[in-house]
């Protein structure tokens, strides 16, 4: 069976003739074994034309050097810590070049067990925004879940799933403003909060450094009335979330204030979110100075991309804490 037909069959099975909640749709099209976007054997990340998007990790070894320096700035001596990279793409790790600074280096990819123990430095780059997300919309005086209906011809259509009945959804809606603007949409990955809690729950100490893009929940509501969900394919961003299931990435902004709460509940401090530029200047200044002084044009170019406010430096943020 072709990948698209495999995904459609699974979507029909889960929908059972009704409307499939949006996060369940995203879970299938991104993570279905073999046919989902992240499970398929394909090039996703990089600056090459056949990739879909570029991340900071694709800029080369400068990324790893800055993160190792920042970890050292937070913890001091790293020699007794295991560097744990979570959510890395297949292939060589972008942090392999700094592994010698740590006692060990582990790379956890899709499906690997999250069994962290002892002193660790956990690093995750664009992991949280890659989780299944829900779409809530304010309609006729109430917040409802959106979903997807699978039509007879195999096409997909957005539909109302209904008021949330699960504890997580009901708890979130209870915090949202009501009344609110008719038709306003909130995209939020509650599963990212669950994943972060699992990552931080193990019997380990050290630092957690998570790089991603997002805003606090009140800002998401105020500044993005149409939601932040987007699709990526061939380095182009668009809003057709239902097009070509399994062939494009689906993502939305994370809610930093809610993730900070998860980190604090796990005993991490300060559980603070900073712009990537500010985080690297604050914690990795010695490495920044070394890279500039060395005069390697490729490294300096990567450094500018990672720190410039118009590029990764301003568009991305870093959630970090230590325990």
In this predicted model, what pLDDT tens digit does every residue of 222-272 receive, in sequence order? 999 999 999 998 878 899 999 999 999 999 999 999 999 999 999 999 999
Cα-flanking dihedrals φ and ψ of residue 46, to 5°? 145, 170
pLDDT, one tens digit per residue, over 281-318 is 999 999 989 888 888 777 778 878 888 776 776 799 99
pLDDT, one tens digit per residue, over 206-228 is 999 999 999 999 999 999 999 99
Co-location of 235 and 114 in the same domain: no
Choose the final residue of a domain: 197, 225, 252.
252
Co-location of 61 and 104 in the same domain: yes
Co-location of 274 and 296 in the same domain: yes
Domain that holds residue 166: 1-41+134-188+217-252
Mean pLDDT of 100-114: 91
Co-location of 33 and 146 in the same domain: yes
The rounded distance, in Å, linking the Cα atoms of 41 and 96 is 22
181 in any annotated domain? yes
Choose the final residue of a domain: 196, 227, 252.
252
308 in any annotated domain? yes
The band of 102, judged by pLDDT with boundaries at 50, 70 and 90, is: very high
274 in any annotated domain? yes
203 in any annotated domain? no
Co-location of 227 and 263 in the same domain: no
The rounded distance, in Å, linking the Cα atoms of 283 and 274 is 11
Whether residue 106 has pLDDT greater than 70:
yes
Co-location of 179 and 297 in the same domain: no
Of residues 7 and 34, more confidently modeled: 7
Of residues 148 and 307, more confidently modeled: 148
Q: Measured at the alpha carbon of residue 15, what is the angle toward residues 163 and 113, in degrees to the nearest 5?
A: 90
Please tell me the predicted confidence (pLDDT) of residue 313.
60
Instruction: Find the CATH number of the domain harbouring 127.
Output: 3.40.50.12710
Co-location of 111 and 20 in the same domain: no
Co-location of 113 and 156 in the same domain: no
Task: Say whether the peptide bond before residue 270 is cis (omega within 30 degrees of 0).
Answer: yes
Please tell me the predicted confidence (pLDDT) of residue 71.
98
Q: 150: Cβ–Cβ under 8 A, 6 or more apart, which residues?
A: 8, 11, 12, 15, 20, 156
Q: If residue 62 lies in a helix (H) or strand (E), which one and from where to where?
A: helix 61-75
Number of domains in the chain: 2
198 in any annotated domain? no
CB 296 within 8 A of CB 192: no
28 in any annotated domain? yes
Question: By percentage, how much of the chain surpasses pLDDT 70?
Answer: 97
Co-location of 3 and 89 in the same domain: no
116 in any annotated domain? yes
Whether residue 128 has pLDDT greater than 90:
yes
Co-location of 2 and 27 in the same domain: yes
Choose the final residue of a domain: 252, 272, 306.
252
Co-location of 138 and 238 in the same domain: yes
CB 52 within 8 A of CB 233: yes
Averaged pLDDT score across all residues of the chain: 92
Query: Strands across the sheet with 104-108, in order?
Result: 104-108, 82-86, 118-125, 204-212, 317-322, 269-275
DSSP 229: -
CA distances to 42, 64, 150 from 120, rounded to whole Å, are: 31, 16, 44
**Of the spans 86-95, 155-164, 287-296, which averages the highest pLDDT?**
155-164
The band of 8, judged by pLDDT with boundaries at 50, 70 and 90, is: very high
276 in any annotated domain? yes
Whether residue 59 has pLDDT greater than 80:
no
Co-location of 8 and 92 in the same domain: no
């Amino acid at each position: 069976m072709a990948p698209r037909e495999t995904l459609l069959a699974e979507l029909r099975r889960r929908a059972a003739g009704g409307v499939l909640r949006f996060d369940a749709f995203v879970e299938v099209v991104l993570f279905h074994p073999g046919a989902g976007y992240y499970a398929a054997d394909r090039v996703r990340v990089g600056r090459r034309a056949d990739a879909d998007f570029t991340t900071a990790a694709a800029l080369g070894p400068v990324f790893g050097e800055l993160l190792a320096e920042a970890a050292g700035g937070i913890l001091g001596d790293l020699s007794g810590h295991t560097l744990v990279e979570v959510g890395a793409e297949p292939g060589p790790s972008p942090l392999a070049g700094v592994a010698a600074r740590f006692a060990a280096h582990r790379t956890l990819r899709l499906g690997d067990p999250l069994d962290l123990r002892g002193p660790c430095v956990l690093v995750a780059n664009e992991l949280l925004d890659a989780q299944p997300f829900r779409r809530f919309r304010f309609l006729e005086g109430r917040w409802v879940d959106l979903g997807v209906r699978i039509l007879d011809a195999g096409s997909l259509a957005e539909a109302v799933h209904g008021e949330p009945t699960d504890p997580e959804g009901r708890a979130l809606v209870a915090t949202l403003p009501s009344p609110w603007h008719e038709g306003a949409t909130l995209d939020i990955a509650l599963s990212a909060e669950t994943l972060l809690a699992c990552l931080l729950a193990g019997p380990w100490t050290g630092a957690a450094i998570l790089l991603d893009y997002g805003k606090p929940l009140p800002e998401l509501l105020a500044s993005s009335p149409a939601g932040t969900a987007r699709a990526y394919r061939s380095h182009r961003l668009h809003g057709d979330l239902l097009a070509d299931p399994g062939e494009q990435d689906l993502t939305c902004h994370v809610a930093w204030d809610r993730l900070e709460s998860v980190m604090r509940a796990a005993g991490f401090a300060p559980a603070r979110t900073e712009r990537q530029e500010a985080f690297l200047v604050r914690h990795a200044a010695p490495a920044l100075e070394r890279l500039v002084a060395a005069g390697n044009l490729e490294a300096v170019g990567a450094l500018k991309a990672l720190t410039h406010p118009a590029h990764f430096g301003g568009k991305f943020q870093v959630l970090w804490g230590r325990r």
